[in-house]
Amino acid sequence: MRNLLAFLFILMLVSCKTEDPNKKFETFKDTFIESYWKMYPERASNAGYHAYDNVLSIPNEDNRKRQLEFSDSLLNELSKHDHNKLSPNNKTDYYIIENRLKGTKWQISEERAFEWNPSVYNIAGDFSKMLSENYDSIDVRLRNFSLRLKYVPAYYEAAKQNIKQPTVAHTNLAIQQNKGGLSVFNTDLIAAINTSGLKDEEKKELEKRAQDAVAAIEDYIKFLTDYKHEEPRTTRLGNDLYAKKFQYNIQSGYNVEQIFQKANDRKQYLHGKMSELADEMWPKYFENNAKPQDSLIKIKMIIDKISLSHAHPDSFQIEIEKQIPELEKFVTEKNLLYLDPSKPLVVRKEPDYMAGVAGASISAPGPYDKGGNTYYNVGSLSGWDKDAAESYLREYNDYMLQILNIHEAIPGHYTQLVYSNQSPSMIKSLFGNGTMIEGWAVYTELMMLENGYGNNSPELWMMYYKWHLRTVCNTILDISVHTKNMSEEEGLKLLTYEAFQETAEAKGKWNRVTVTSVQLCSYFTGFTEIYDLREEMKNKLQDKFDLKTFHEKFLSYGSAPVKFIREMMLAELN
């Protein structure tokens, strides 16, 4: 008996050792990702995992049933892990996986966009990437392209079956986008075939399948064009769906009403600050001329004057490039956070396939392409029409360009990316929290100015406030349109009169908010959560608070929702 007990005891010890909760969870994560790609082949291709390039999922009832079963079974697997026993990195991965699976169930059973949003059916983007991205030889890519094409007629047949009471706006969007995608299967495909080494019969087969796919897309366009909208659904999401979508997509510690209140308070605050700055700068720009009664008009007049200070079309790129080392120097000298000198940002002229989108953006290698460089793509204005270039340069004037560089590069998106790569997590690279990522970039804009970047120039502060007001008003607009019945007239007035936007920009934003929801809130919500967390930590730590330590600690958790980072930072304090 004693021997048996001793034996059992040893057995327990052994099994405890092999059952290290983190190791067990790592294994689970690997199988989760593998099975996720199998369930969602197009998402796998998009993430740079090309094992399923030859299939396309058919969006029918059977597929939705399988997605629900998949989510339930993985949630069940997940529940076998005790998240309290996991490392911070694994714990946040646990929450991210759980949120994604629950979100999928909600999308299928409650949101049901597959019924009312015809624009969810569009294959052109995924197929286009197979032609333009050089992850494999053109022959291999075209053979998979050909196999995947076989599913297209069934795909659009299922789409037609799904559609019930679609909104007019999403119907029109679907018509426009599917028409726009047709060239992928004509001109783009022909050009790719001509550079390939496919055999004649392979080419013939591919061309035949492409014709069938085009016919299926055209048939779908006709179906939507002829659609009789009796009592069409409204594009406004409504309180209940909006609250849930906000919960799954934003993953904030605040709810919709709290964020709405905070955004309105912030707008008031910014208007007050901008009015003070306008008074301060008035004599410089308008001498003794009388100020208008309306303070928003007064602010707009000053903004218009400051916007005249801008780069020449030919020097636009050079101006952007010149600022990067200055930002690095400032961050280091002011001890704001550590910048890894072995990972400098590679600035490049934007590649041709991105042309037309001037400004600047970060291109980071995907999670399956670890060796790749991270680039800062700087757009060129060459070939732009004179008026368009002038209007663009006024918007991205000398002051705004600096804010843009802070946001996109240092210490914004680029710096965050370097930090997140230090706690490598495939889950966060693939399903990272966009609210945290955008929130960090927006937070750094203010943080840099608070610490004296730009020598407290009133022009720079004014332009920062205008830029920040855009994220604030986007949030107010999104919530108001989807849950508070805001009219187009009210929406445009908010953007032009209260946020100082040009009419063209405001109209574009209005179109966007009618066909999307929630995403426009991510920037301000993330900013607010990070800012509030910093103030909370300051209060708790008093003299012991150190900004650099706070930033580095915050970023060390990777692209996780801020509410979980907060939970772990507070736990570590106690």
Instruction: Report the interface residues with Zn ion, using CB under 5 A.
Output: 438, 441
* CA–CA distance, 251 with 247 (Å, rounded to integer): 5
Shortest Å, Cβ 438 to Zn ion: 5
Structure tokens at 199: 């055999």
The residue (of 113 and 406) whose beta carbon lies closer to Zn ion is 406
Q: How far is the CB of 208 from Zn ion (least distance, A)?
A: 43
Instruction: Tell me whether residue 427 or residue 441 sits nearer to Zn ion (CB atom).
Output: 441
Q: Which two tokens stand for residue 441?
A: 């970039």
**CB 135 to Zn ion: min, Å:** 26
Q: Which is nearer to Zn ion, 221 or 306 (CB)?
A: 306
Nearer Cβ to Zn ion (216/441): 441
259 near 193, Cβ under 8 Å?
no
Q: Which is nearer to Zn ion, 438 or 445 (CB)?
A: 438
CA–CA separation, 515 vs 173, rounded Å?
8
C-alpha closest to that of 560 among 189, 96, 118: 96
Of the chain, the end-to-end C-alpha distance in Å amounts to 45
Q: At what angle do helices 138-149 and 200-225 cross, to 10 degrees?
A: 50
Q: How many whole angstroms separate alpha carbon 37 and alpha carbon 31?
A: 10
How distant, in Å, are the alpha carbons of 205, 216, 313 from that of 220? 23, 6, 43
Q: Shortest approach of Zn ion to residue 39 CB, angstroms?
A: 29
Q: Is 496 exposed, middle or buried (0-12, 13-18, 19+ CB in 10 A)?
A: middle
CB 8 within 8 A of CB 328: no
Minimum distance of Zn ion from residue 361's CB (angstroms): 9
CA distance 365 to 420: 13
Neighbours of 10 (CB within 10 A): 10
Q: Which is nearer to Zn ion, 316 or 557 (CB)?
A: 316
Q: Is the Cβ–Cβ distance between 99 and 153 less than 8 Å?
A: no
Residues 529 and 562 sit within 8 Å (Cβ to Cβ): yes
Shortest CB 49 distance to Zn ion, Å: 25
What is d(CA 561, CA 525) in angstroms, rounded to the nearest whole number? Answer: 11
**Entry field: residues in the chain:** 574
By DSSP bridging, strand 360-363 and strand 375-378 are antiparallel
In this structure, what DSSP letter does residue 84 have?
Answer: G
Sheet containing 375-378, strands listed edge to edge, beginning at the edge strand earlier in sequence: 346-349, 375-378, 360-363
**Between residues 438 and 459, which has the closer beta carbon with respect to Zn ion?**
438
Q: Residue 257 CB, nearest distance to Zn ion (Å)?
A: 25
Q: Return the residue nearest Zn ion (CB atom).
A: 441
* Closest CB 403 distance from Zn ion, rounded Å: 11
Q: Shortest Cβ distance from residue 360 to Zn ion (Å)?
A: 11
β strands within 301-459, DSSP E: 346-349, 360-363, 375-378
CB of residue 36 to Zn ion, shortest distance in Å: 26
Task: State which residue, 117 or 522, has the beta carbon closest to Zn ion.
Answer: 522
Place of tokens 């301060």: 280
- Closest distance to Zn ion from the beta carbon of 119 (Å): 24
Based on CB atoms, which residue is closest to Zn ion, 206 or 441? Answer: 441
Cβ-based nearer residue to Zn ion, 67 or 307: 307
Question: Which residues are CB-neighbours of 43 under 8 A, at least 6 positions away?
Answer: 36, 37
CB of 270 or CB of 441, closer to Zn ion: 441
**In the bound complex, what is the minimum distance in angstroms from residue 408's beta carbon to Zn ion?**
7
Classify 349 as helix, strand or coil: strand
Compute the distance between CA of residue 301 and CA of residue 303 in angstroms, rounded to an integer: 5
Comparison of 102 and 470: residue with beta carbon closer to Zn ion: 470
CA 277 to chain centre: 32
The count of other CB atoms within 10 Å of the CB of residue 418 is 20
Q: Smaller CB distance to Zn ion: residue 441 or 537?
A: 441
> What minimum distance in Å lies between the beta carbon of 428 and Zn ion?
17
* Min CB(401)–Zn ion separation in Å: 14
Give whichever of 138 and 406 is closer to Zn ion, judged by the CB atom: 406
Return d(Cα 367, Cα 29) in angstroms, integer.
15
The Cβ of residue 365 has, within 10 Å, a number of other Cβ atoms equal to 16
